[in-house]
Amino acid sequence: DTGVSQNPRHKITKRGQNVTFRCDPISEHNRLYWYRQTLGQGPEFLTYFQNEAQLEKSRLLSDRFSAERPKGSFSTLEIQRTEQGDSAMYLCASSSNAGQANEKLFFGSGTQLSVL
Amino acid sequence: QKEVEQNSGPLSVPEGAIASLNCTYSDRGSQSFFWYRQYSGKSPELIMFIYSNGDKEDGRFTAQLNKASQYVSLLIRDSQPSDSATYLCAVNKQGGKLIFGQGTELSVKP
């Protein structure tokens, strides 16, 4: 499988619980992005990595959210003390040609989070 | 003002017609422009990208860019029911991250 892989596909949790999502990018891609998408909206940028370095975090990302990419390969996104407003599709994307005009992002299937 | 703006639709066209999807952006420093297609419940899929002013054609799809007007469009010729989806316009700001519009829902009626 040469695409971006995300796990789990669906996650249902109770408010206040912690959740963690995993993303495995396309193997030769050095950039990895996390986006969040709610119904009727476009994907909203959360954060991105180049290799293992986290280069940018959205101002919208509260301190309950943390992301890691420890070996420059897979990445995890953790949400602590989940709130109902965190319910969304969490999308991971990877790319090569980092920072160049022809950089193209390829998305995984996403993790649908429902906070009850 | 949103950084990338699209009409949310829905845009309804008959099968075989030309569908025209529009997008405006606010940052004049934006370098490249992308169109993604997203079927309901699925993730975005890249269908077109354009960097230079003018038109770029790929099969039934044509992307148009006018940097002076900060305007990007996507034309779909000979629209098919299978083209029914949400079309997302995305702009690459310097540094690499994509900023997305809210998407335009397209419905192609048989």
Which of these, B8, B31, B20, lies nearest to B90 by C-alpha position?
A: B31
Show which of residues 23-82 on chain B sit within 8 Å of chain A, judged by CB atoms: 31-32, 34, 42-46, 49, 51
Mean pLDDT across the stretch A35-51? 94
Nearest CB to B88: which of A42, A45, A109?
A: A42
Separation CA A69–CA A50 (nearest Å): 9
Mean pLDDT across the stretch A102-116? 93
CB contact under 8 A, A42 and B45: no
Separation CA A110–CA A7 (nearest Å): 8
Q: What Cα–Cα distance (Å) separates residue B6 from each residue in A71, B41, B86? A: 38, 20, 11
pLDDT score at B88: 97
Mean pLDDT across the stretch A57-72? 90
Model confidence band, residue A36 (pLDDT cutoffs 50, 70, 90): very high
For Cα atoms B58, B70, B3, give the angle at the middle one, nearest 5 degrees: 105
Q: What is the mean pLDDT of chain B?
A: 93
pLDDT at B24 over 60: yes
Q: Which of A29, A58, A107 would best serve as a mutation to test chain B binding (most B beta carbons within 10 A)?
A: A107
B51 CB neighbours in chain A (<8 A) are 101-102
Q: What Cα–Cα distance (Å) separates residue B74 from each residue in A19, B3, B6, B24? A: 38, 18, 12, 12
Q: End-to-end CA distance of chain B, in Å?
A: 36
Smallest Cα distance from A24 to chain B, Å? 15
Long-range contacts from B68-71, C-beta under 8 angstroms, 24+ separation: B69/B24, B70/B24, B70/B25, B70/B26, B70/B28, B71/B22, B71/B23, B71/B24
Mean pLDDT across the stretch A10-21? 98
Are the C-beta atoms of residues A67 and A76 closer than 8 Å to each other? yes
Contacting residues for B59 by C-beta, under 8 A, at least 6 apart: none
B43 CB neighbours in chain A (<8 A) are 91, 107-110
pLDDT at A103 over 90: no
Are the C-beta atoms of residues B98 and B84 closer than 8 Å to each other? no
Nearest CB to A101: which of B8, B32, B42?
A: B32
Nearest CB to B96: which of A40, A103, A110?
A: A103
Separation CA B98–CA B103 (nearest Å): 14
Alpha helices in A44-88 (DSSP H): none
pLDDT at A1 over 60: no
Mean pLDDT across the stretch A22-31? 93
Separation CA B5–CA A110 (nearest Å): 24
pLDDT in tens, B61-104: 999 999 999 999 999 999 999 999 999 999 987 667 899 999 99
pLDDT at A47 over 80: yes
pLDDT score at A59: 87
Model confidence band, residue B1 (pLDDT cutoffs 50, 70, 90): confident
Reported residue count of chain B is 110
Proportion of chain B above pLDDT 70, given as a percent? 98
Reported residue count of chain A is 116
Mean pLDDT across the stretch B11-18? 97
Mean pLDDT across the stretch A81-92? 97
